[in-house]
């Protein structure tokens, strides 16, 4: 008799050309990743050759029951680390039957910004640092923490090693390898300051691909924690009190910033970001006010300040960038539950298109 694991790992590529495509999209809350699968007659590696599909938007908070059909437009393809073979993951965005992007489709607006000639010419690079917390499923309390209690104070956990410091490494390493398999530009992982909290980085990635890849990486993480029986939280302050929150620091550079004299371009871009601080904060994630308190390696939410090697600033410039006179900067304001389409495109719009 076959075991369930045998069937899950069943390779059918030697008996049929058919593949399974998992269509993935963002639901009505802006953070709920949804997906469903369909069979295709042969392998596909170009999203424009994939069929559009539909789903019941009234069940995802994206359409009323009397007019519930939402259309999925395939936008990016990744290898499926769960089914493997020629099977694929498909990042989609969402439209009405008449072809209008629905309100929760943040990708469509981002794509317009990234296709602007002035933005294309500058080849915007992004490195996204996604922090998250692993929770015990039944009690919604960080893994490794005593039930109803607290571990020792922060200090030994950041990049820590050992059973009393690193909780959930098997999940984190599985995610790392699955993202590499999928073709995502995941560049690293590390344990974070609060025990049970981790980070992965995506990038450097150009333009709209940064958002596509981060959503794909989030989907893969949700699937792995589903298998492990653990809950992943993207809440920016999952535990109140003297604990670090969770952010999604966004590193950014343009062609002009990466050239000689780029430091002056960086400073002008940071000046623009400061002028639109309130607008950016409003778009940088729900509950961010609980995280941006001016403590725990953050600037106060109402204050815009930048500095070199300053992790208590809104914008941090690295020592290497200052020394070399070119490079990138880090926007430390986005929360862990930010929408990467919104944040990346807004940074590009403010620094490259907006005229003060």
Three-state SS sequence of the chain:
CCCHHHHHCCCCCCCCCCEEEEEEEECCCCCCEEEEEEEECCCCCCHHHCCCEEEEHHHCCCCCHHHCEEEEEEEEEEECCCCCCCCEEEEEEEECCCCCECCCCHHHHHHHHHCCHHHHHHCCEEEEEEEEEEEECCCCEECCCCCCCCCCCCCCCCCCCCCCCCCCHHHHHHHHHHHHHHCCCEEEEEECCCCCEEEEEEEEEECHHHHHHHHHHHHHHHHHHHHHCEEEECCCCCCCCCCCCCECCEEEECHHHHCCCHHHHHHHHHHHHHHCHHHHHHHCCCCHHHCCECCCCCCECCCCCEEECCCCCCEEECHHHHHHCCCCEEECCCECCCCHHHHHHHHHHHHHHCCC
In this predicted structure, what is the pLDDT of residue 2?
Answer: 66
CATH 3.30.590.10 segments of the chain: 117-353
In this predicted structure, what is the pLDDT of residue 1?
Answer: 61
> Which CATH architecture is the domain 117-353 placed in?
2-Layer Sandwich (3.30)
The pTM of the full predicted model, rounded to 2 decimals, is 0.96
Topology of domain 4-104, CATH: Ubiquitin-like (UB roll) (3.10.20)
In this predicted structure, what is the pLDDT of residue 9?
Answer: 85
Low-confidence stretches of the chain (pLDDT < 50) are none
In this predicted structure, what is the pLDDT of residue 88?
Answer: 98
In this predicted structure, what is the pLDDT of residue 193?
Answer: 94
CATH 3.10.20.70 segments of the chain: 4-104
Residues 245, 351: Cα–Cα separation, whole Å = 27
* Tens-digit pLDDT profile for residues 18-57: 999 999 999 999 999 999 999 999 999 999 999 999 999 9
In this predicted structure, what is the pLDDT of residue 4?
Answer: 87
């Amino acid at each position: 008799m076959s075991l369930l694991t045998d069937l899950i790992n069943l390779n059918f590529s030697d008996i049929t050309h058919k593949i399974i495509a998992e269509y993935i999209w963002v639901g009505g809350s802006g953070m709920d990743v949804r997906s469903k699968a369909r069979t295709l007659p042969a392998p596909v590696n170009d999203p424009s050759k994939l069929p559009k599909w539909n789903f019941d938007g009234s069940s995802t908070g994206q359409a009323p029951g009397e007019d519930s059909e939402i259309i999925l437009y395939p936008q990016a393809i990744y290898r499926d680390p769960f089914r493997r073979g020629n099977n694929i993951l498909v990042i989609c965005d969402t439209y009405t039957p008449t072809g209008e992007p629905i309100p929760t489709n943040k990708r469509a607006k981002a794509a317009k910004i990234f296709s602007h000639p002035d933005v294309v010419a500058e080849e915007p690079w992004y490195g996204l640092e996604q922090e998250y917390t692993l929770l015990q499923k039944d009690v919604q309390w960080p893994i490794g923490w005593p039930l109803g209690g607290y571990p020792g104070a922060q200090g030994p956990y950041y990049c820590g090693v050992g059973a009393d410091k690193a909780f959930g490494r098997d999940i984190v390493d599985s995610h790392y390898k699955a993202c590499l398999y999928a073709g995502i530009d995941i560049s690293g992982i590390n344990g974070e300051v609060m025990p049970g909290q981790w980070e992965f980085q995506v990038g450097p990635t150009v333009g709209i691909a940064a958002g596509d890849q981060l959503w794909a990486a989030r989907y893969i993480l949700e699937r792995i924690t589903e298998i492990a029986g653990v809950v992943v939280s993207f809440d920016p302050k999952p535990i109140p009190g003297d604990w670090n929150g969770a952010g999604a620091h966004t590193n950014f550079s343009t062609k002009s910033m990466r050239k000689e004299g780029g430091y002056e371009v960086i400073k002008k871009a940071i000046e623009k970001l400061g002028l639109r601080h309130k607008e950016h904060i409003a778009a940088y994630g729900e509950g961010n006010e609980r995280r941006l308190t001016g403590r725990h390696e953050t600037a106060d939410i109402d204050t815009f300040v930048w500095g070199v090697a300053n992790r208590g600033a809104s914008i941090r410039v690295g020592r290497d960038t200052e020394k070399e006179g070119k490079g990138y900067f880090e926007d430390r304001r986005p929360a862990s539950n930010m929408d990467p389409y919104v944040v990346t495109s807004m940074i590009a719009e403010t620094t490259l298109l907006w005229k003060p």
